[in-house]
Amino acid sequence: MTSSTPLLVRALKKSPWVFHVGTSGCNNCDIEIADCLTPRFDVERFGIKLVGSPRHADVMLITGPVSQACREPLQQAWLEMPRPRAAVMIGACACSMGAYKDAYSVAGPPDKVLLEVDPDAKYIYVPGCPPKPETIVMGVVKLLGAL
């Protein structure tokens, strides 16, 4: 975050574009993220928009523990994001591995995987299995407040 100017951060807070990465979760959190876009929660009214490429995104939403196969794609997607950038770890698995702590094919929780390539990575945790859409929206809002 050191390389970003205050102006960029302010611009990001007005309308954060988010990119969603499911890293081998059970897809429950992923569905709740998609739920945030639909009429009841409709995060687009706050300017939060789900985009299809990490190059367009300001905030990355990460769900699930990172499997061995997903590790490099996740790191690559993170490095493609322009600064200032931040991540939201959504769900128990992304926060602490949850039920999959002992699984042999899991490389680690996403925060550890991100820190491997970017020691300055900024992120927050939204626990829950899965967190309700309200909680996810609140998590993103709190992240923006903390930037």
User: Looking at beta carbons only, is 23 or 84 nearer to other proteins?
Assistant: 23
Contact letters (x/-) for other proteins, 11-40, by CB under 8 A?
A: --------xxxxxxxxxxxxxxxxx--xxx
User: Looking at beta carbons only, is 21 or 144 nearer to other proteins?
Assistant: 21
Question: What are phi and psi for residue 23, nearest 5 degrees?
Answer: -105, 70
CB contact burial 52-72 (16+ within 10 A = b; e otherwise): eebeebbbbbbbbbbbeebbe
- C-beta of 5: minimal distance to other proteins in Å? 28
52 belongs to the binding site for other proteins (CB under 8 A): yes
29 and 131 Cβ atoms separated by less than 8 Å: yes
Q: Which stretch binds other proteins (CB under 8 A): 8-16, 47-55, 119-127, 138-146?
A: 47-55
User: How do beta strands 106-108 and 66-67 pair?
Assistant: antiparallel
User: Looking at beta carbons only, is 4 or 28 nearer to other proteins?
Assistant: 28
